[in-house]
A and B are shown apart, each in its own frame.
Chain A
């Protein structure tokens, strides 16, 4: 892992308006900032709920996510994750939580969703070193625009429709190996595959 001067991280953090707004919510319970976040992320989360089969619970999911954002905003640290990444993980966890609660009683839930899926920055006592966490979102946005459509489609199905690689293969009527190689090619370009083997 490369160590980099922390200064660019600060500059990057300041440039991200959503992280600034989220910070205001966390520090000052700023309702105007909270409303701006709702206007920006609310429609994304509602689409997310509809895409992954929770259409009849879409508004409920948006509400749960925003209540959770309010409660947890004091834990948000922009040096550990951009606001949109942090909010994505909350939306993901609330979706998982909603499905878990539909499927069983709370007495059966020995572990919380967050014991299994972590929100970045929570309970993390490691030093803040990951400049690339902030850089990565911008880099991903840029590289994504250069990826072939077929690769983006597969990734969108995994993240938005919550389909396993096998389900994506079945739906697109292509072999599982093809799905996997498209994902690998994309992750390679997005530099997620650092060293899969022998690390």
Chain B
């Protein structure tokens, strides 16, 4: 169980560029709001730089440098100096401006879900958005495999504490809990399931991380 911040091993896999896209998204969304973890990643990026420096070197030719120069010369003049464009977060690119207006599918009671796995083509994980209505309760449940979750809106609480917007949590089969949405907003989370559960028939609709 990892709560509120990603652990150092996960951040290292992120810094090394070894995480899948949905997992990297969870980390990135957290980093955008957590200076503490951002500084941990800065240090890890420096570790990457030092590791690269410590390895054997492979000769590069002058002709390669020449072709690099001809590439930069073929670009329109004045192009290299470009201020960074106004930032649209990965989340907005994927899901638009308003999370509340997505085509949510109502499930049991206070829980709605939306499977967004198809937004990550070529990735094997299941990526699911979940919405717990303000003040609502999810039934008690456990988790299968490792399930990485980030809170996108509102907050939820369980016996282990309160999870606010941009908190990061990893749960597994040992973590039984009964989340409640706290505050006056619906709680929306994004979860990445590394080992999606394959159920059929009438159980299919129970297939989501709030309710298992």
Nearest Cβ on chain A to B171's Cβ, whole angstroms: 15
Q: Which of A85, A103, A163, A193 contacts B49 (CB under 8 A)?
A: A85
Chain B count of residues within 8 A CB distance of the other chain:
63
Chain B proximity mask over A83-125: 1 for CB below 8 Å, otherwise 0:
0110111011101100000011000101100011110101100
Residues on A with beta carbons closer than 8 Å to the beta carbon of B36:
1, 194, 199
Residues on B with beta carbons closer than 8 Å to the beta carbon of A183:
8-9, 12
Q: Which of A31, A59, A88, A123 has the most CB of B within 10 A?
A: A88
Contact B45 A85 (CB under 8 A): yes
Contact A88 B9 (CB under 8 A): no
Contact B81 A74 (CB under 8 A): yes
Q: Is the interface of A mostly helix, strand, loop or mixed?
A: helix
Contact B54 A165 (CB under 8 A): no
CB proximity to A under 8 Å, residues B2-56? 3-5, 7-9, 11-18, 21, 24-25, 28, 31, 35-36, 39-40, 42-56
Nearest Cβ on chain B to A119's Cβ, whole angstroms: 9
For the complex, what is the distance from the CA of A36 to the CA of B133, rounded to whole Å?
Answer: 58
A172 at interface (Cβ–Cβ under 8 A)? no
Contact B68 A89 (CB under 8 A): no
Given A74-B81, A140-B47, A183-B9, check contact A117 B64 (CB 8 Å). no
Residue of A nearest to B56 (CB): A47
**B residues with CB within 8 A of A:** 3-5, 7-9, 11-18, 21, 24-25, 28, 31, 35-36, 39-40, 42-60, 64-65, 67-69, 71-72, 79-84, 87, 89-90, 93-94, 119, 121-122
**A residues with CB within 8 A of B:** 1, 29, 31, 35, 38-39, 42-48, 50-51, 58-59, 62-63, 66-67, 70-71, 73-75, 81-82, 84-85, 87-89, 91-93, 95-96, 103-104, 108, 110-111, 115-118, 120, 122-123, 126, 130, 132-133, 136-137, 140-141, 144, 155-156, 158-160, 162-165, 180, 183-184, 187, 190-194, 196-197, 199
Task: Known pairs A85-B45, A88-B52, A93-B17; list 18 more (Cβ under 8 Å).
Answer: A1-B35, A38-B65, A47-B55, A62-B60, A63-B71, A75-B84, A88-B46, A95-B17, A110-B94, A115-B89, A115-B93, A158-B16, A159-B16, A159-B52, A160-B55, A183-B12, A187-B8, A196-B5
Query: Which 7 residue pairs across A and B have the least CB separation, nearest first?
Result: A43-B57, A115-B90, A88-B49, A42-B60, A84-B49, A46-B58, A116-B24
